[in-house]
A and B are shown apart, each in its own frame.
Chain A
């Protein structure tokens, strides 16, 4: 009796979802929606991209993704206060999730809706790396708006957010393991015949400590704390960045120079952090995998959709920036959001597989029982089961796919910053002022965007009084030359020139 009631409930839910059609999140094709938006942004049409975003989000109740994407597009448009405000609205939604994660984690870990219909019925709380990136990007907006205290608040929020995520995920893993054991369901991806396992078993993905901590967020924390003269907090920022990306040796320079960097600066010089963001975060698409399901004495196969992330390996990563047409500043890839997205999916897969398998069993039972009672109802339930079956493709797509960082001492004033690549050379003019500043660039397709720092008037006046191009030479913050000289002691190895370090 109980199973018949459950079956009716499922059949009704699927039919309602089917009749509700495209207006409900159950049928939303986020990948196609954002493909257009990202394409427009990549070809320099930000206004069009914003219009497209608004068109796809006509509902009065905007979701987290809308505010995330909007904040990013407005940042590309250099409308920094508006970008910050959109992200602050997104942040309000993440705070609701945080509160639930702290007080009622069981609500977030179990969600029956996805078991009945598909994972899109779950409220979108953002991927873990997106929640962390949101506060990091808010910090970037605050820095460009020259509000270092607000940036510090966001940086601190990043650490707290990471701790909440770690705690909740540990509980979720234990919960999924226990549930899978009780239901005797295999949750390993390799058991899904036909799933492209190689996308998740990529060395870049496996090398990550987890799917939400990024070296960039922690390096930025180090930079902000250092600027605010809080070396005891800056040190763990740089240290964490090194721990997260031990293969990027340049990160060690952040920690090594912490005590001396500020002292070495001359009166009209600035310690500049260059942040170069490239591409857009990878899309999630659906792949249908048949799940074998027993019913009475026979076995059937029910196609269930699972999310897949295909990495874009063709993205161009610059190795250096050109300042004033004569000085090269090396930039280093410290964060790979493409790999983080796949790592997040890899870590989520046991839960997704468990929910998918339960859904396959429930759908089979519903279809068979509906068919046993009424042939037409059975056909309807089968159609609804097929139509509503779709993987959750929602991800923050306008995020960059890679973040590169470089650091140099620059004289105050206007500088022409160039990036060369397959698209030729793209230049922007950056105003440098203050003891520490951040120059943020975004390369999307062949379009180069910059978030222009909005300095206080007195800083700007001081900077404009300096003729930057003819002033002191630019000094890249790279490993000291002595380290390169060491190679000269090995007779068989020819000493390499210090690439990009201005002489």
Chain B
């Protein structure tokens, strides 16, 4: 059987795609018993007007972008070493501000422009590990990491989130303001600060 060249190519492509798809189907079978589906984690979420995933992502992206353009980051000879202090939640809503600062830190680290020292919350794990390596007698002295070699941060990041909530019988309006600043640890000078505002209104 002689097929034209284009038909032959098409057949090969179709076979390859079919094999590819077949392969996918074999390795990742779908198990489903109900109306559960995966969604886009970055999709805009407006289920309620409480603080949600879109707000977290918007704040983290906006703050990380702004900080990466700041003078202490762009004009530093060495990559600055930063630590994250607490972002205070001044709202009456259970907002996990650590999830916001974790996202900001991940984006800053991915840029490669800054380095991060362990923050106060991770300090216990850090000291536990050093003690384990140096004081339990279980590690080779030459291979254990020395106590007293930790680096102090050049800057610390701190901030707060506040909100104003107003409602009538039909409308609920929520205004969030997220403020972040970068403080020079040695001099105490605030080197950079920015704010992100979000307004969400819902009607019944």
A is bound by B: yes
Question: Which residues does A use to contact B, with CB under 8 Å?
Answer: 156, 159, 163, 167, 170, 174, 221, 229-233, 235-237, 239-240, 243
A167 to chain B, nearest CB (A): 7
Contact of A236 with B121 at beta-carbon distance under 8 Å, contacts A159-B94, A230-B98 already known: no
- A233 near B121 (CB under 8 angstroms)? no
Scan residues 54-104 of chain B and give those whose CB is less than 8 A from a CB of chain A.
86-98
- B92 near A232 (CB under 8 angstroms)? no
Contact of A232 with B48 at beta-carbon distance under 8 Å, contacts A170-B204, A174-B204 already known: no
Contact of A243 with B121 at beta-carbon distance under 8 Å, contacts A174-B204, A232-B97 already known: no
B180 to chain A, nearest CB (A): 13
Pull 21 A–B residue pairs with CB atoms less than 8 Å apart, ordered by A.
A156-B94, A163-B50, A167-B48, A174-B204, A221-B94, A231-B88, A231-B89, A232-B86, A232-B87, A232-B88, A232-B95, A233-B94, A233-B96, A235-B89, A236-B91, A236-B93, A236-B94, A236-B95, A239-B91, A239-B92, A240-B92
Contacts of A232 in B (CB 8 A): 86-89, 95-98
- B92 near A236 (CB under 8 angstroms)? yes
B203 to chain A, nearest CB (A): 12
Contact of A236 with B89 at beta-carbon distance under 8 Å, contacts A159-B94, A163-B48, A221-B94 already known: yes
- B204 nearest CB neighbor, chain A only: A170
Q: A232-B98, A233-B96, A239-B92 are in contact. List 19 more A-B contacts (CB 8 A).
A: A159-B94, A163-B50, A170-B204, A174-B204, A221-B94, A231-B88, A232-B86, A232-B88, A232-B95, A232-B97, A233-B89, A233-B95, A235-B89, A235-B90, A236-B89, A236-B94, A236-B95, A240-B92, A243-B92
B159 to chain A, nearest CB (A): 11
Contacts of B48 in A (CB 8 A): 163, 167
Contacts of B94 in A (CB 8 A): 156, 159, 221, 233, 236-237
- A237 nearest CB neighbor, chain B only: B94
Q: How far is the CA of A156 from the CA of B94 in the complex (A)?
A: 9
Contacts of A159 in B (CB 8 A): 94
Q: How far is the CA of A243 from the CA of B92 in the complex (A)?
A: 9
Q: How far is the CA of A235 from the CA of B172 in the complex (A)?
A: 23
Q: How far is the CA of A237 from the CA of B92 in the complex (A)?
A: 7
- A102 nearest CB neighbor, chain B only: B47
Q: How far is the CA of A232 from the CA of B92 in the complex (A)?
A: 10
B169 to chain A, nearest CB (A): 10
B5 to chain A, nearest CB (A): 55
Contacts of A163 in B (CB 8 A): 48, 50
Q: What are the 9 A-B residue pairs with the smallest beta carbon separation, nearest first?
A: A232-B89, A232-B97, A239-B92, A159-B94, A235-B89, A236-B92, A236-B94, A240-B92, A233-B94
Q: How far is the CA of A170 from the CA of B49 in the complex (A)?
A: 15
Contacts of B97 in A (CB 8 A): 232
Contacts of A156 in B (CB 8 A): 94
Q: How far is the CA of A239 from the CA of B48 in the complex (A)?
A: 21
Q: How far is the CA of A230 from the CA of B93 in the complex (A)?
A: 14
Contacts of A240 in B (CB 8 A): 92
Contacts of A174 in B (CB 8 A): 204
- A158 nearest CB neighbor, chain B only: B94
- B87 nearest CB neighbor, chain A only: A232
- B88 nearest CB neighbor, chain A only: A232
Q: How far is the CA of A429 from the CA of B109 in the complex (A)?
A: 52
Q: How far is the CA of A229 from the CA of B98 in the complex (A)?
A: 11
Contacts of A221 in B (CB 8 A): 94
Q: How far is the CA of A240 from the CA of B93 in the complex (A)?
A: 8
Contact of A231 with B86 at beta-carbon distance under 8 Å, contacts A163-B48, A170-B204, A174-B204 already known: yes
Contacts of B88 in A (CB 8 A): 231-232, 235
Contacts of B204 in A (CB 8 A): 170, 174
B88 to chain A, nearest CB (A): 6
Q: How far is the CA of A239 from the CA of B163 in the complex (A)?
A: 13
Q: How far is the CA of A472 from the CA of B90 in the complex (A)?
A: 35
- A243 nearest CB neighbor, chain B only: B92
Contacts of A230 in B (CB 8 A): 96, 98
